[in-house]
Structure 1
Amino acid sequence: MQFTRFFTQAEVEKIHDASLEILENVGLLVHNEKARAIYAKHGCKVDNGSGLVKIPRNVVEECRKSFAPTYRFTARDPEYDVTLPGDRPVVVTGSSAPNIIDPKTGKERRATSTDIANIARLINELPGFDVFSISTLADDAPKGQFSLSRFYPALKNCLKPVRSNTPNMHDLHQVLELGALIAGSEAAYRERPFINHHYCPVVSPLTMDVESTEAVIYLTEQGLPVYGTIVPNAGLTSPMSLLGTLTLGNAEFLALATLIQLIRPGAPMIYAVLSTVADMRTGAYAPGAIETGILQMGHTEMARFYNVPSGGYIGLTNSHSNDAQCGYETGMNTTAALLAGADLFNMGGLLGSLMAFDFAKAVIDNEIALMLKHLKKGIEFSEENLCLDLIKQVGPGGSYMELEHTLLNMRSTAVLPKIANREMRSQWEGAGRPDAHARALQEADRILSQENKAKFSPELDAKIREHFPGLVAGDSVWQGIA
């Protein structure tokens, strides 16, 4: 497949060179002491007083030699393992929203661990999604179990890869203990680490934090899956220039990638971004804007230059409902990223600039995901697919409707949507004129009213609950939408 390109090879190399100049001459503030020590050990200029680290270009270029071309998401069930870039587009839910749109009332409220369990179960059954990045926080989390109250209901109700982050090392160690209990032992978990960790350790512009950086260092040292996302925001934390923001974000990716490779050469990474342009009329955060898609396309070009998988938070929306804005922001940006060659799409289920999860939005995004996967396939060329003999057989004025060939190929040739309406207007009106949101919510209700195929065995669940006293129930409890 040929990918959309913005830059010539010489221009890509110039962006790379400019990024190296930033790291070598401007540097970045590194607040984590361990990270500063790692950089210093390998020849970087470190001022421990100010925290400023300057990374010579030769250090970056040496680390580039060990960049890994693939990244694997491991699942509880090996059937759902996916690898970038071979399985692209890999579609992931948006994550960590504090709120949820209540499916019964339609009102926005704080999300709970039960909501996470229901969402996990829904994502497990929607074929367009490949990875469940835990969509919300859990407002009912007991003290000291903030992350457990998210990962436990997620893993208990989803067989696909589960991805999220933790706010501190205490929570990270708890989550890793949970993984070992589910796997049967720490050794078994290390063999198939089905919890996938993600952080934003670089705070634009050019700053590396303490806690997220600590987690990245630890997980990299342990050989466990982890990657970071770079998030410059033009006009606020990066230049009000698409190219300037791309270059700054690229430098930040290289700074993080260099740290990871200095710790463990060959450690898999994803060039993941959420690069945006602020709406300077108000300063509003605008992840749904088309500039997010354009910047993703540019970062994807740079990722191909480095031969690493790419993607990130793309297909988000600023809309607060499943309206036309929601659809065109998600559709335009994901299509742009796909055509540029992005591999990973954090796109599913969130409204209002990542603030609220909506069940109907997730079902609609599943349909968009299936379309993206079909678009990626394109048109397969073969002598058989030319259908020349069939065309001769049917001839002018004939019909293909009743042919066995049509029956055999109807499901593979076309996406057959459940939400998009293709009925005659009279049929639609007779059904009560339901819009996409209503149809999607009914589909979510249908799925969540069926048997839960992913839940833990009673024995495993008892073992986990004994190890973590006071843990949230973690069960999927669906009350329906009526």
Structure 2
Amino acid sequence: MIHANTMTHQAVQFSVLTDSQKQDLHLAALEVLRRTGIRFYHSGALELLKKSGAFISDGNLVKFPARLVEAALATAPCRVSMCDRDGNPAMHLEGNRASFGTGSDCLNLLDPRTGEHRLFVEADLLEAYRLCDALPNISFVMSIGLPSDVEQALTYDVQMLHMLENTVKPIVFVTNDLASCRRAIDMAAVVAGGYEALREHQHILLYSEPSSPLKQSETAVDKLILMAKTELPVVHSPGPQMGAVAPITMAGGLVMSLAEILSSLVVHQLTRPGAPFVFGAGIHHMDMSAMQICYASPEFQLTKAAVAELGRWYGLPTWGYAGCSDAKVMDEQAAAEAMLSVIMAQLSGGNLIHDVGYMESGLTCSYEMIVLTDELIGMIHNLIKGIEVSPATLLVDEIDKVGPGGHYLDADSTLKRFREFWNPGLLDRKTRPVWLKKGGTSLNQRLNAKVLRILAEYQPKPLAPEKSHKLREILASAKK
């Protein structure tokens, strides 16, 4: 029997925390905020918190009553919508909707033409952003690399200029101080057509971090407050390493990170209630044998899934990680770890998923890794759709019509629906003779060929010349 008014799809998703465990983690974080507190190295935030009822001792140690956290959670929006450079809707950060993009500030690049492991340079940024603009499942662009041939004080200005010129996709940006953050907003406002247009059609989001354990630096809070005042979205995400600057257990790492996130949210919402805030944390562990953080460990997959669940439980959009690996080259390890991270990000329901292309624990970028992850995102997107069970898919009449011993090759439903199955662009399903006829290439060879083809042929939509000129004027002002 077919029942009316029932769900036809059950999205594939899993949970790593029960509701009672989420409550336990939340209450433990509130206890850390009440008993231990957070050190704020920002006089304006200290004044704001004291005025709002926080307890301040020892100069800058802030202890939070639970009501401040509850009030901040009540005013923070549950949804952040981002536009592309032209003001068109591009990403809705809410519920279980996942959008994927690159990471920031890799020192090194695996050169797609020579295979050399070398330092990032400014010319690489333009190619990286064009590559991302061309890939259908990369929804936003982050700065990707630190150009070694650019004056350090201008690094983030140069990144922002090239992102705005070489992609129409939403941008997640990073800056090293308040002045460069202001200039990034100024640049984005030029492109949007003014500050009010930028606020209405938001296409930039700031990534910043507290200083684990349990500290908020002056620079980070400066930027957090600026984003609240301008009503532009921000993710203020801890990135602690369990066993180094966070407790060794996953639960302990989550508790400390929650305390840091919630303290950030309180300052943010006290500054401008209702300003957009994205909830996130990257809780890695320290491999004690190598003294290196791990980007692809099962423990990191679990903590990032827990962060996504907790963010939804709080009613906030979430920040996550995928498409990253501890491998040094594009090999089987890189592919396996990329797949694991994409599956976990999609199944756990994170919203703004970054670090696509990261290799060597975030020290190196691979364009081939970005292209591979673009392919995997499409595959896993079809996986999490689940199975549609409805009158249109049960096909009882068609089964009866074809009967025993028949076939469905020319059935109406086959002709109508066969394209709904996911088809790979780079993963190979052909027979061996067909594969050999096409060159018998490995996946890595096909990835590299696609990278080089995009870099040779693809040109993004150009920015209006007068806007590019104004961006360069802002960059020039930073040099003075």
State TM-score, norm by structure 2.
0.92
2:308, 2:320 within 8 Å by CA — same for their partners in 1?
A: no
1:146, 1:171 within 8 Å by CA — same for their partners in 2?
A: no
Cα distance between partner residues in 2 of 1:467 and 1:26: 43
Q: Report the counterpart of residue 222 of structure 2 in structure 1.
A: 214
2:86, 2:192 within 8 Å by CA — same for their partners in 1?
A: no
Cα distance between partner residues in 1 of 2:29 and 2:152: 43
Query: Quick check: 1:189 aligned with 2:198?
Result: yes
Q: Report the counterpart of residue 110 of structure 2 in structure 1.
A: 101
Q: Secondary structure at the match of 2:27?
A: helix
Query: Quick check: 1:439 aligned with 2:446?
Result: yes
1:24, 1:54 within 8 Å by CA — same for their partners in 2?
A: yes
Cα distance between partner residues in 2 of 1:247 and 1:144: 35
Superposed displacement of residue 74, structure 1: 2.4
Cα distance between partner residues in 1 of 2:58 and 2:90: 42
1:5 corresponds, among 15, 19, 33, to: 15
Superposed displacement of residue 427, structure 1: 3.3
Query: Quick check: 1:115 aligned with 2:114?
Result: no
Q: Secondary structure at the match of 1:291?
A: helix
Deviations 1:232-274 (A, max 9, x none): 2111111111111121112222111122111122222222121
Give the % identical residues: 27
**Of 211-220 and 384-393, the range deviating more from structure 2:** 384-393
1:157 corresponds, among 144, 166, 184, to: 166
Query: Quick check: 1:225 aligned with 2:223?
Result: no
Q: Report the counterpart of residue 399 of structure 2 in structure 1.
A: 391
Deviations 1:270-307 (A, max 9, x none): 22121112112232110111111111122222222211
Query: Quick check: 1:43 aligned with 2:15?
Result: no
Q: Report the counterpart of residue 284 of structure 1 in structure 2.
A: 292
Q: Secondary structure at the match of 1:373?
A: helix
Deviations 1:128-150 (A, max 9, x none): 11111121122232465322210
Query: Quick check: 1:423 aligned with 2:430?
Result: yes
Q: Structure 2 matches for 1:452-471, cutoff 5 A? A: 452-466=459-473, 468-469=475-476
**Of 232-241 and 180-189, the range deviating more from structure 2:** 180-189
Indicate how the Cα distance of structure 1 residues 141 and 36 shifts in structure 2: closer, same or farther if over 3 A, else same: same
Superposed displacement of residue 391, structure 1: 2.4
Unmatched 5+ stretches in structure 2:
1-10
**Of 60-69 and 362-371, the range deviating more from structure 2:** 60-69
Q: Report the counterpart of residue 366 of structure 1 in structure 2.
A: 374
1:350, 1:358 within 8 Å by CA — same for their partners in 2?
A: yes
Superposed displacement of residue 469, structure 1: 4.0
Cα distance between partner residues in 1 of 2:474 and 2:311: 42
Cα distance between partner residues in 1 of 2:63 and 2:415: 63
Amino acid at match of 2:356: G
**Of 13-22 and 250-259, the range deviating more from structure 2:** 250-259
Q: Report the counterpart of residue 171 of structure 1 in structure 2.
A: 180
Q: Report the counterpart of residue 6 of structure 2 in structure 1.
A: none
1:357 corresponds, among 352, 365, 371, to: 365
Indicate how the Cα distance of structure 1 residues 342 and 177 shifts in structure 2: closer, same or farther if over 3 A, else same: closer
Cα distance between partner residues in 2 of 1:466 and 1:242: 47
Cα distance between partner residues in 1 of 2:108 and 2:462: 24
Cα distance between partner residues in 1 of 2:277 and 2:220: 16
RMSD (CA atoms): 2.2
Q: Report the counterpart of residue 301 of structure 1 in structure 2.
A: 309
Amino acid at match of 2:49: Y
**Of 160-169 and 383-392, the range deviating more from structure 2:** 383-392
2:95, 2:317 within 8 Å by CA — same for their partners in 1?
A: no
Cα distance between partner residues in 2 of 1:249 and 1:68: 20
Deviations 1:344-398 (A, max 9, x none): 2214112111112211111100011112322232222321022223323333333
Query: Quick check: 1:264 aligned with 2:272?
Result: yes
Q: Secondary structure at the match of 1:353?
A: helix
2:231, 2:276 within 8 Å by CA — same for their partners in 1?
A: no
Indicate how the Cα distance of structure 1 residues 2 and 410 shifts in structure 2: closer, same or farther if over 3 A, else same: closer
2:379, 2:424 within 8 Å by CA — same for their partners in 1?
A: no
Q: Report the counterpart of residue 155 of structure 2 in structure 1.
A: 146
Unmatched 5+ stretches in structure 1:
473-482
Q: Report the counterpart of residue 448 of structure 1 in structure 2.
A: 455
Superposed displacement of residue 184, structure 1: 2.9
Superposed displacement of residue 113, structure 1: 2.6
Indicate how the Cα distance of structure 1 residues 391 and 271 shifts in structure 2: closer, same or farther if over 3 A, else same: same
2:161, 2:471 within 8 Å by CA — same for their partners in 1?
A: no
Q: Secondary structure at the match of 1:146?
A: helix
Indicate how the Cα distance of structure 1 residues 457 and 268 shifts in structure 2: closer, same or farther if over 3 A, else same: closer
1:290, 1:329 within 8 Å by CA — same for their partners in 2?
A: no
1:273, 1:311 within 8 Å by CA — same for their partners in 2?
A: yes
Indicate how the Cα distance of structure 1 residues 317 and 451 shifts in structure 2: closer, same or farther if over 3 A, else same: closer
1:227, 1:270 within 8 Å by CA — same for their partners in 2?
A: yes
Q: Report the counterpart of residue 5 of structure 2 in structure 1.
A: none
Q: Report the counterpart of residue 34 of structure 1 in structure 2.
A: 44
1:67, 1:306 within 8 Å by CA — same for their partners in 2?
A: no
Cα distance between partner residues in 2 of 1:210 and 1:69: 27
Cα distance between partner residues in 2 of 1:182 and 1:65: 33
Indicate how the Cα distance of structure 1 residues 452 and 6 shifts in structure 2: closer, same or farther if over 3 A, else same: closer
Alignment coverage as a number of residue pairs: 469
Cα distance between partner residues in 1 of 2:474 and 2:38: 42
Q: Secondary structure at the match of 1:211?
A: helix
2:106, 2:144 within 8 Å by CA — same for their partners in 1?
A: yes
Amino acid at match of 1:69: C
Query: Quick check: 1:19 aligned with 2:29?
Result: yes
Amino acid at match of 2:239: V
1:126 corresponds, among 135, 153, 171, to: 135
Indicate how the Cα distance of structure 1 residues 180 and 309 shifts in structure 2: closer, same or farther if over 3 A, else same: closer
2:237, 2:279 within 8 Å by CA — same for their partners in 1?
A: yes
Superposed displacement of residue 123, structure 1: 1.1
Cα distance between partner residues in 1 of 2:474 and 2:63: 45
Deviations 1:157-189 (A, max 9, x none): 111101111101221122222122222333333
Cα distance between partner residues in 1 of 2:411 and 2:120: 51
